């Protein structure tokens, strides 16, 4: 099935004679839990590596991770149990081989972090403190300082990058477009510095570890930089994306008017916190036998439906009956809530769902390769086959750490011994100024996009609302693309619109409810066979003209029990 999709291949023109160029063996875009291990692995393989980040080395989704790393360490647990839990939650779309590889690679990935200096919570005997999260049959979540795992991991990886002599870091560089050589191989990236200067980076291998696109939604746990830049950039360069309709919503985001949406980790519910409505009624037992520890899609829908039925703007997380002092167990949550006058030991904490994780992404093989030569992807921007139709809690850090390392090694091997690369010139698009009386408020349009996506592509969806959303997305895209795009805000908005259109296309095509994709007009799971939905860009070197929607059989088997 083909759908019209007009979009320039590049956001800005590129002439290699007019911008300075740096040359490396491997480029890594992103320095989080996926990008940093990829860069370190490539460096250990003998490659010269450049790590390029949109903001500071400490920014990104990793530092906001409140849960931990899911890995099998307890004697009563097993790799097989972790594999089966992941396959069950993935609703038939997981790749069993990838799941097995990620799960078995967990202990070694954790050990690599510890060797770099990361400190995880241990008991008096020196054993890891293991928590349980939704979908897991055993406690297997390793965390740091209760709910500060992301901060610990990010600071550790940042230090390792800064200490590695083979790695150079370039912070505050906005990646605008991927660059190609005469054969169409991706061989670099065009960036803008924080001073507005253009600079090009060339390499034999380029790894995208740019995270997701949570900023598509008004309610989100993601930082401001999560605008889907890597996904959109790669799609414009010809990369296939897969299953973008699967957006996971975290069920418990702190909801206080005017305050940033802060994720309250699943480990809080794992410790015994329960969800109640405005009348104090606990409601999760009616939705799933695991109650508050059901898979996240189940909890998010239950919370959303309870908000609608009670007419409230949130539900409430009750920590009052925990066996230990929640202030000591969850200091970060305690500090934030205390600022707003909430004592988590006795006061109900208002929460609601928020966009948390892009389950789909760039289609990659077992070593992170996309269909575009020279281009790799890993982490949230990639669709590796680990998560399927839903992500189990704390499997994302596991994926990033294990597959990030493996992808970095593969990219270094591919770059080794290759000929020097030379990005070719491309005049790109020619901006034409709109009529003087036409004014486009990018900030207002961005907010309109985020609000519409929350209403019409959110926790629950239906065909008429999504078709209406698609009309708006196409109209807004034409307007923004016609503008001169010479600022990060304009680049981000067009990237967000691109990813939003692709996700909505996929959601309209998938006429079933599976995992985190729930359609009220198609509430049943399609038992005829699980399939991935690939969106393949069509066009020429200058402009995309259409997207082909192609179903491919999934390798997994849907667990019916």
Q: Please tell me the predicted confidence (pLDDT) of residue 486.
A: 83
DSSP character string of 488-542: HHHHHHHHHHHHHHHHHHHHHH--S-BTTB-BTTB-S--TT--EEEEEEEEE-SS
- Token pair belonging to 205: 């291998």
Edge to edge, the sheet with strand 349-358 lists 262-263, 247-254, 349-358, 315-318, 274-276
Q: Please tell me the predicted confidence (pLDDT) of residue 13.
A: 87
Q: Please tell me the predicted confidence (pLDDT) of residue 16.
A: 85
Q: How far is CA 67 from each of CA 85, 132, 356, 555, rounded to the nearest angstrom?
A: 17, 10, 13, 29
Q: Please tell me the predicted confidence (pLDDT) of residue 67.
A: 74
Q: List beta partners, residue 513.
A: none
Contact 330, 147 (CB under 8 A): yes
* Residues 6 or more apart whose Cβ sits within 8 Å of residue 289: none
The one catalytic residue in 158, 204, 269, 296 is: 296
Q: Please tell me the predicted confidence (pLDDT) of residue 297.
A: 86
Phi, psi of 122 (to 5 degrees): -130, 160
- Rounded CA gap, 242 and 536, in Å? 9
Q: Please tell me the predicted confidence (pLDDT) of residue 266.
A: 81
- Token pair belonging to 554: 């999934």
Q: What is the mean pLDDT of each run of 10 residues along the chain (561 residues)?
A: 92 88 96 96 94 87 80 96 95 96 97 95 93 89 86 94 95 96 91 94 96 94 93 97 96 82 83 93 92 88 93 92 89 88 93 94 97 97 96 93 97 85 64 61 94 96 98 94 85 97 98 96 89 95 92 74 42
- Token pair belonging to 230: 């890597």
Q: Please tell me the predicted confidence (pLDDT) of residue 333.
A: 85
State the CB neighbour count (10 A cutoff) for residue 545.
13
- Rounded CA gap, 343 and 339, in Å? 9
- Token pair belonging to 528: 């005829």
pTM of this structure: 0.93
Q: How big, in percent rounded to 5, are the helix, strand and coil portions of the chain?
A: 35, 20, 45
Q: Please tell me the predicted confidence (pLDDT) of residue 435.
A: 60
Q: List beta partners, residue 174.
A: 192
Q: Please tell me the predicted confidence (pLDDT) of residue 463.
A: 97
Domains with residue ranges and CATH for the chain = 250-355 (3.90.700.10), 428-553 (1.20.58.100)
Contact 538, 2 (CB under 8 A): yes
Respond yes or no: is residue 17 known to be catalytic.
no
Alpha helices in 226-371 (DSSP H): 229-236, 266-270, 296-310, 326-329, 331-339
């Amino acid at each position: 099935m083909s759908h019209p999709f007009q979009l320039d291949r590049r956001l800005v023109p590129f002439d290699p004679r007019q911008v300075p160029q740096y040359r490396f063996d491997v480029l890594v875009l992103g320095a989080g839990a996926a990008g940093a291990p990829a860069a370190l692995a490539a460096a250990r393989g003998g490659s010269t590596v450049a790590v390029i980040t949109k903001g500071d080395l400490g920014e990104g989704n990793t530092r906001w991770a409140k849960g931990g790393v899911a890995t099998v360490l307890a004697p009563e647990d097993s790799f097989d149990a972790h594999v089966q839990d992941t396959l069950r939650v993935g609703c038939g779309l997981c790749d069993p081989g990838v799941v097995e590889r990620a799960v078995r690679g967990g202990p070694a990935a954790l050990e690599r972090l510890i060797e770099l200096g990361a400190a995880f919570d241990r008991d008096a005997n020196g054993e890891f403190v293991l928590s349980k999260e939704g979908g897991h049959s055993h406690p297997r979540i390793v965390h740091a300082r209760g709910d500060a795992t992301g901060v610990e991991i990010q600071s550790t990886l940042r230090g390792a990058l800064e200490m590695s002599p083979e790695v150079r870091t370039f912070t505050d560089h906005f990646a605008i477009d991927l660059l190609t050589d005469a054969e169409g191989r991706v061989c670099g990236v065009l960036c803008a510095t924080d001073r507005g200067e253009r600079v090009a980076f060339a390499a034999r291998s380029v790894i995208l570890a740019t995270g997701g696109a949570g900023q598509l939604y008004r309610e989100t746990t993601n930082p401001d930089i999560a605008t889907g830049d890597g996904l959109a950039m790669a799609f414009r360069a010809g990369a296939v994306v897969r299953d973008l309709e699967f957006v996971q919503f975290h069920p418990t985001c702190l909801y206080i008017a005017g305050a940033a949406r802060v994720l309250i980790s699943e480990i809080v519910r794992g410790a015994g916190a329960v969800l109640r409505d405005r009348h104090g009624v606990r409601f999760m037992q009616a939705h799933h036998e695991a109650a508050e520890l059901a898979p996240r899609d189940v909890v998010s829908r239950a919370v959303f439906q309870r908000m609608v039925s009670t007419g409230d703007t949130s539900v409430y997380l009750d920590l009052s009956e925990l066996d230990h002092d929640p202030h000591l167990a969850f200091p970060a949550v305690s500090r934030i809530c205390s600022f707003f006058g909430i004592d988590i030991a006795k006061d109900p904490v208002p929460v609601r769902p928020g966009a948390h994780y892009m389950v789909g992404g760039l289609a990659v093989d077992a070593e992170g390769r996309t269909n575009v030569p020279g281009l790799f992807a890993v982490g949230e921007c990639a669709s590796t086959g680990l998560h399927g139709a839903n992500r189990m809690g704390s499997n994302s850090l596991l994926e990033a750490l294990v597959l990030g390392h493996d992808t970095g090694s593969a990219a270094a091997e591919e770059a080794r011994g290759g000929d020097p690369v030379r990005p070719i010139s491309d005049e790109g698009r020619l901006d034409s100024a709109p009529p003087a009386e036409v004014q486009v408020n990018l900030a207002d349009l961005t907010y309109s996009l985020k609000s519409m996506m929350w209403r019409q592509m959110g926790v629950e969806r239906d065909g008429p609302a999504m078709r209406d959303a698609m009309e708006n997305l196409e109209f807004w895209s034409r307007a923004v693309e016609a503008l001169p795009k010479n600022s990060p805000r304009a680049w981000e908005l067009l990237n967000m619109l691109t990813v939003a259109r692709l996700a909505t296309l996929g959601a309209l095509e998938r006429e079933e409810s599976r995992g985190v994709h729930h359609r009220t007009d198609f509430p049943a799971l399609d038992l005829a066979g699980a399939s991935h939905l690939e969106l393949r860009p069509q066009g020429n070197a200058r402009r995309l003209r259409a997207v082909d929607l192609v179903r491919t059989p999934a390798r997994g088997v849907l667990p019916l029990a």
